[in-house]
Structures are given as C-alpha cells and as structure tokens.
Amino acid sequence: MSSEEEVRQINAQILSAASKGDFAPFVAALDDGVEVFDHVAYLFDGKASFLEYLQSVGSGAESMTYAFHQYSCRAFTDTMAVVNAYDRLATFPKGGGQPKVQCGRATWVYVKSGRDWKIVTAHFSPLPEGASS
C-alpha cells in the first residue's frame, strides 16, 4: 500500500468515528508534540494543551460531531503526507436544541514514525461569514 493510501485509510477511520462523536482515533493519531493553530489566537504546542482546549470547548455539549468535505491527501515522501479539507464541527447542547455549527478549513500534516502515522501539525481556520462548506 502506498503512503497516500495508508494516510487516506487512517483519515477515513478518524473521520468515520468523529462523524459519530467518537474522537478517540483522532486523539490517538495526534503526536505528543503536535503543533496546532486553531480558530483561537493561540498556538497549542503539544497534545496535552490542545486536548485540554478541546475538552473545554465540548464541556457544555451533549455531543459533538466532525466531518471533512472535499478533502485532498498528498504524500510527498514515504514518511510525510498532507491532508487539506473543508471541515464542519457540530456541537449539540445538553438538553436538546439546535447544534452550533462551525465550518472551516483544516490542514493536517502526517509523519510516519516506525509503523505509525501521526499528525504532527494541524491548522484549523474558520470560513468567512456567509460561506459554508
């Protein structure tokens, strides 16, 4: 299997689970030293600080789902690949009600370490007002 096919397969597993509110495969794919640029004006330097932020975002939610649209995957070497996509995060409030939906763009950089592919850098940015993915 090519590097691109491996990353596509891992990404598909992550997104399949996230579409059902299961973020464990995404968390497992994050490298401990991951660098994340998110919607907030802050650089998350490491898996622990990013997960702390994600938990605070979801603390008032009954559930959350995440999906990619129109995504591309390109392997540049046998050990490095980049995934770009439009993304959609839906946060469902406790007790019901309409979900809060955030649409944006995402870039994940994967590096293969041994047999495992890890997300070493991620970038999330919101779409301009009025745009949707």
For the stretch 24-79, pLDDT in tens is 999 999 999 999 999 887 899 999 999 999 888 888 889 999 999 999 999 999 99
- Could you tell me if residue 22 is inside a domain? yes
Angstrom distance (rounded) from CA 90 to CA 79: 32
- Could you tell me if residue 32 is inside a domain? yes
Specify which residues 23 forms β-bridges with.
Answer: none
Domain that holds residue 68: 3-126
CATH for 11: 3.10.450.50
Angstrom distance (rounded) from CA 16 to CA 14: 6
Confidence check: pLDDT of 131 > 70: no
Predicted local confidence at residue 64, as pLDDT:
92
Q: Do residues 123 and 106 touch, judged by C-beta distance below 8 A?
A: yes
Two tokens, residue 94: 């406790």
- Could you tell me if residue 34 is inside a domain? yes
Number of domains in the chain: 1
Predicted local confidence at residue 129, as pLDDT:
74
Instruction: Give the mean model confidence (pLDDT) for residues 74-102.
Output: 94
- Could you tell me if residue 11 is inside a domain? yes
Those residues whose C-beta lies under 8 Å from the C-beta of residue 96, and which sit 6 or more positions away, are 62
